């Protein structure tokens, strides 16, 4: 048993090294790679993904897992295993079980097509031409459906795709969450529409990128970001990727005429990065050193970005610093007025810039389109019109361009169909976790207002980050909060916050 576990750990570390090497090529592709290198980069990624698949489906892994007692009824192996070893066995049993259902050829074709697709998506977005990207998306969708059939599903083809990002969640469960959220969000939005509106005009002035970046770097340093273990760069679409146990890369984008884009993108990605850097030393470099689900991962980014980063306490501390950076734009603006401005609720086109109330409506739109797309109810060529019509129905406004509509997200180009629901789940988990945090740190707002984030990060590291994939999302949620995911906490958080911002 001990020899089997030791060998599994060695194999897991080798797989992680190869995964991080692939991630390095992907990060470079989205940040510094010259455009002419796209074709060979696709071949490089395809080759390495094929090598990873071959190594990750070695029959030896199945034999070692069997020796450890893992099977369909007991994926964590022998019950005598220490908790961490049992977690590793369960994670590797799940990964191995999914990978052996896929062929090396399919994995390589998907890697190559998504690498090409991401480059063409970026160009199509720049040129505001969905027709340029549509043929590539059709190929990606075809490969995605081929993958879903290989993985198998019991209820809905989308189950196989959602499961990749939110393990063990079914499409029906996601639909139930969204069906519950939608009317409650609309109710809050209706109250806000009837209240005195917030003036955020001073956020639409010119904020030079260099100053935004300097301010953002200072903020995340205070939050606990370690520049010796990570970087911050620019990309077409913000993302975080891990290239090693001490090498996590953040990216963001800036809009010089809309201040919120840069700073909240930086804080959001920092939340992801802090999670990745917070795994315990004993699991670093293994299959356990990853978010247990993307919903949990998003809970960290959304909590730092919104619950903390858009709080009054946060801007009591940072507004004087920001005002000194941009005195022309913020002269006469008070911290309270600034707080209200960064929390302005207004239907808008870009998901990553959406307020907390309307954000999940953006996700419901994408979830609806994806489930229809994978069942053939919406052909790829009809996506722009379907997007615009559903946007009008959900948010009351209609995109006038592909740039603001169907081309705004990178996820489909990278083969991430099934990813979007995790963003809303992250909002729910984040609110529930923060409520638990405040039971231990009842003076959390005072700490934030004083610029002391160490106790908050320490709590997150101890209760969430260090565990990685040892627990499932539900197990972790119950361990931290005493109950399974409960959307009521998020709705209560929104009602309490925005009734004060909008005085209703």
User: What integer best gives the mean pLDDT of the chain?
Assistant: 97
124-130: average pLDDT: 97
For the chain, give the percent of residues with pLDDT over 90: 99
Q: What is the pLDDT of residue 343?
A: 98
- What does the pLDDT look like over 293-328, one tens digit per residue? 999 999 999 999 999 999 999 999 999 999 999 999
Q: Which pLDDT value is given to residue 270?
A: 98
Confidence (pLDDT) at 332? 95
202 φ, ψ (degrees, to nearest 5):
-75, -15
Other beta carbons within 10 angstroms of residue 284's beta carbon come to 16
Average pLDDT over residues 477-482: 98
CA-nearest of 436, 413, 422 to 301 is: 422
- Do 300 and 404 belong to one domain? yes
Residue 404's pLDDT band, with cuts at 50, 70 and 90, is very high
Q: What is the pLDDT of residue 64?
A: 98
The overall longest dimension of the chain from CA atoms, in Å, is 69
Q: Residue 479 is encoded by which pair of tokens?
A: 């361990």
What is the domain count for the chain?
A: 2
Q: Is residue 232 part of a domain?
A: yes
User: For residue 54, what pLDDT band results from cuts at 50, 70 and 90?
Assistant: very high
Shared domain for 264 and 134, answered yes or no, is no
HEC states along 113-147? Answer: HHHHHHHHHHHHHHHCCHHHHHHHHHHHHHHHHHH
Does some domain include residue 158? no
Same domain, 339 and 448: yes
Residue 306 is given by DSSP the state I
Give the model's confidence band at 146: pLDDT under 50 very low, under 70 low, under 90 confident, else very high. Answer: very high
For the chain, the C-alpha Rg in angstroms (whole number) is 22
Hey, which residues does 242 pair with through a beta bridge?
Answer: 248
- Given the structure tokens 């519950």, which residue do they identify? 180
Instruction: Determine the Cα–Cα distance for residues 376 and 271; give it in Å rounded to an integer.
Output: 36
For residue 347, name the pLDDT band (cuts at 50, 70, 90): very high
Same domain membership, residue 177 and residue 144 = no
Say whether both 383 and 472 belong to one domain: yes
Cα→Cα distances 402→252, 349, 372, Å:
21, 11, 19
pLDDT of residue 395: 96
Q: Do 103 and 200 reside in the same domain of the chain?
A: no
Helical pair 294-302 and 421-440, crossing angle rounded to 10 deg:
60
Residue 102: half-sphere exposure toward Cβ, Cα within 13 Å: 28
pLDDT (0 to 100) of residue 370: 98
Pick left, alpha or beta for residue 435 (phi over 0 → left; psi -120 to 50 → alpha; otherwise beta): alpha
Phi, psi at residue 120, to the nearest 5°?
A: -70, -35
Residues annotated as catalytic (active site), given as ranges: 269
Please write the tens of the pLDDT for every residue from 210-226: 999 999 999 999 999 99
State the Cα–Cα distance between residues 411 and 414, nearest whole angstrom.
5
Query: Is residue 262 a contact partner of residue 255, using CB atoms and an 8 Å limit?
Result: yes
Q: Are residues 378 and 413 in the same domain?
A: yes
Taking alpha carbons only, the member of 275, 272, 299, 219 closest to residue 462 is 275
CB proximity list for 16: less than 8 A, separation 6 or greater: 285, 286, 287, 289
Cα separation, 387 vs 385, whole angstroms = 5
CA nearest neighbour of 17 among 244, 277, 223, 320: 244
Q: Which of 125, 152, 179 is the last residue of a domain?
A: 152
Q: Are residues 240 and 334 in the same domain?
A: yes
Are 90 and 382 in contact by the 8 Å Cβ rule? The answer is no
Q: Give pLDDT, residue 105.
A: 98
Predicted confidence at residue 13, as pLDDT, reads 97
Query: 325 and 435 in one domain?
Result: yes
Q: Does 162 map to a domain? A: no
Task: Give the structural domain span for 342.
Answer: 171-501
Structural domain includes residue 160: no
Angle at 185 between CA 260 and CA 440, to 5 degrees: 70
Query: Is the domain of 43 the same as that of 118?
Result: yes
137 domain-assigned = yes
398: domain CATH number is 1.10.1370.30
CA distance 279 to 260: 30
| Mean pLDDT for the stretch of residues 259-273 | 97
Is 159 within the bounds of a domain? no
User: From CA 297, how far away is CA 306, in angstroms rounded?
Assistant: 14
Domain match, 109 and 181 both:
no
- pLDDT-derived band at 415 (thresholds 50, 70, 90) equals very high
Question: Residue 188: what pLDDT?
Answer: 97
Cα–Cα–Cα angle for 397, 400, 404, rounded to 5 degrees: 85
Please check whether residue 165 lies inside any domain of the structure. no
Domain end among 94, 124, 152: 152
d(CA 362, CA 366): 7
Q: Are residues 69 and 215 in the same domain?
A: no
The verdict on residue 216 lying in a domain is yes
Residue 314 region, left (φ>0) first, then alpha (ψ -120 to 50), else beta?
A: alpha
Domain limit, last residue, from 106, 124, 152: 152
């Amino acid at each position: 048993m001990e020899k089997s576990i030791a060998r599994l750990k060695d194999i897991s570390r080798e797989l992680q090294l190869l995964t991080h090497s692939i991630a390095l090529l992907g990060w470079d592709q989205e940040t510094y790679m010259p455009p002419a290198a796209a074709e060979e980069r696709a071949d490089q990624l395809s080759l390495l993904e094929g090598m990873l698949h071959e190594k990750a489906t070695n029959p030896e892994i199945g034999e070692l897992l069997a020796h450890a007692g893992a099977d369909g009824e007991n994926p964590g192996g022998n019950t005598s295993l220490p908790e961490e070893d049992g977690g590793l066995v369960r994670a590797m049993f799940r990964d191995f079980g999914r990978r052996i259902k896929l062929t090396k050829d399919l994995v390589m074709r998907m890697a190559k097509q998504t690498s090409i697709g991401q480059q063409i998506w970026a160009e199509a977005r720049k040129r505001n031409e969905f027709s340029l990207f549509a043929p590539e998306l059709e190929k990606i969708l075809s490969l995605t459906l081929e993958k879903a059939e290989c993985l198998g599903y019991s209820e809905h083809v989308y189950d196989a795709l959602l499961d990749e990002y939110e393990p063990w969640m079914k499409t029906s469960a996601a639909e139930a969450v969204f069906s519950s959220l939608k009317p409650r969000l609309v109710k809050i939005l209706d109250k806000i529409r009837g209240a005195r509106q917030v003036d955020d005009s001073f956020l639409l002035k010119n904020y030079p990128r260099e100053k935004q970046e300097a301010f953002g770097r200072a903020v995340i340093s205070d939050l606990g970001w370690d520049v010796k273990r990570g970087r911050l760069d620019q990309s077409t679409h913000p993302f975080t990727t891990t290239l090693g146990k001490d090498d996590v890369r953040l990216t963001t984008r800036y809009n010089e005429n809309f201040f919120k884009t840069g700073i909240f993108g930086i804080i959001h990605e920092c939340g992801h990065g802090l999670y990745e850097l917070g795994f315990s030393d004993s699991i670093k470099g293994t299959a356990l050193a990853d978010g247990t689900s993307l919903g949990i991962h998003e809970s960290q980014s959304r909590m730092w970005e919104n619950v903390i980063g858009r709080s009054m306490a946060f801007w009591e501390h940072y507004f004087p610093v920001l005002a000194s950076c941009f005195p022309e734009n913020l002269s006469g603006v008070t911290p309270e007025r600034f707080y209200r401005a960064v929390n302005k609720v207004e239907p808008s086109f870009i998901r990553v810039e959406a307020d907390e109330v309307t954000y999940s409506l953006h996700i419901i739109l994408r979830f609806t389109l994806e489930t229809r797309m994978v069942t053939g109810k919406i052909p790829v060529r009809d996506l722009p019109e379907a997007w615009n019509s559903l946007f009008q129905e959900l948010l009351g406004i209609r995109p006038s361009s592909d740039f603001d509509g169907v081309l705004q997200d990178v996820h489909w180009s990278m083969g991430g169909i099934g990813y979007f629901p995790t963003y809303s789940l992250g909002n729910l988990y984040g609110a529930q976790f923060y409520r638990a945090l405040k039971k231990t740190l009842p003076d959390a707002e005072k700490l934030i207002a004083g610029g002391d984030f160490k106790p908050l990060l320490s709590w997150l590291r101890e209760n969430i980050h260090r565990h990685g994939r040892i627990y499932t999302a539900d197990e972790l949620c119950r361990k931290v909060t005493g109950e399974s995911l409960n959307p009521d906490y998020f709705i209560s958080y929104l009602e309490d916050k925005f009734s004060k911002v909008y005085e209703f």
